[in-house]
Copies of this chain bind each other. A is one copy, B any other.
């Protein structure tokens, strides 16, 4: 079962129509808000989270006790200034932090598990739009996201062009590449290879596929970092020892770090959610949804766009952002684009990159 989490919950008033053709009834969206909503409701900013993120963008995570995942960016006096803006961040559907997902109870009272419908990024956005409807917010001041959050921002712009005045998409892409799909497939196979996965029906069994999920996270984590960043941070340094043990312990710091990342992840994330969300990302291809031409997706968009990439990001490299920018140019949209230099790889959007703070602050206005 989904953990009981203290968060705001919005029950959708009607079933959510999904790209897969199903109508998902009883959907709840878990969300957090920060800052006051203006009387005209014109100062709302929707922040969309990444694959393993959640609604706790600027408040303590209820499971790990750690600070919000983007506190450096969102808060009073921060680039996304909650003294001025009303920030909304919702857990994606398919997730595991309160929004309806595979761990939620289906109509028969048992968890959906693998009976949960395969969702898309656009389906996630539909749930976000339903939440905005519920909150009475017709037009966002901005929609903002990095990585999968950026996919949602672009999808929102393409499918609900009147709902956001500004679209800020960071370290992201308009489609998952073959290599992106390949890494996700490795992760899914690692989860499914774990006998504790039990075909997805592990809830309440006392055994979750932690080992498989941990391997999946380890593989994914490598893609979030740059080769040079790993070399600078760890190199071939040994972990708490002076010489190699000639065994299979974590001799190297990088091994120890990865194992820690893997095992820590299993304490806060549901393996089935990992399957469904990675699937949604792999299915993501905005052009395909719009007749095969990306420019068509943004034709006539009244929004202003800002794309940001990082030179060390090899998961969603600058070429992917540039591809989006070219399409926006072809669509006649207002777009600015910057490639920032940062050593941290894909994870740069979450880390200390002062230039990103300036870009975000400048674009949000």
Residue numbers of A with Cβ under 8 A of B are: 19-21, 114, 117-118, 175-179, 181-183, 185-186, 188-190, 192-195, 211-212, 214-215, 218-219, 222, 225, 227, 230-231, 233-236, 244, 246-248, 250, 252, 254-255, 258-259, 262, 275, 279, 282-283, 285, 288, 314, 317
Contacts and interface: CB of A to CB of B under 8 A. Distances in A.
19 contacts: A117-B246, A118-B247, A176-B236, A178-B233, A178-B235, A178-B236, A178-B252, A181-B236, A181-B255, A182-B218, A183-B222, A185-B250, A185-B259, A189-B214, A189-B215, A193-B194, A215-B215, A219-B219, A227-B314
Nearest to A211: B193
Contact of A218 (B19, B21, B186, B195): B186
A322 B314 CA distance: 22
A88 B194 CA distance: 41
Contacts of A21: 246
Nearest to A193: B211
A179 B20 CA distance: 38
Contacts of A236: 175-178, 181, 285, 288
**For the complex formed by this chain, how many copies does it contain in all?**
2
A179 B214 contact: no
Nearest to A223: B222
Contact of A193 (B212, B222, B248): B212
Interface centre among A21, A186, A236, A262 (most CB of B within 10 A): A186
A24 to B, nearest CB: 12
A93 to B, nearest CB: 14
Contacts of A258: 182, 185-186
A201 B275 CA distance: 31
A120 to B, nearest CB: 9
B193 A254 contact: no
Contact of A215 (B193, B234, B288): B193
A119 B153 CA distance: 50
Interface centre among A20, A175, A176, A193 (most CB of B within 10 A): A193
A275 B246 CA distance: 12
Contacts of A118: 246-248
Given A236-B285, A258-B186, A177 B20 contact: no
A161 to B, nearest CB: 24
A214 B185 contact: no
Please provide the 8 A-B residue pairs with the shortest distance between their CB atoms, ordered closest to farther: A193-B211, A20-B246, A178-B230, A118-B246, A178-B234, A178-B254, A185-B255, A179-B227
A231 B182 contact: no
A283 to B, nearest CB: 6
Given A190-B215, A193-B214, A219-B219, A182 B230 contact: yes
A18 to B, nearest CB: 8
Contacts of A181: 236, 252, 254-255
A33 to B, nearest CB: 32
A317 to B, nearest CB: 8
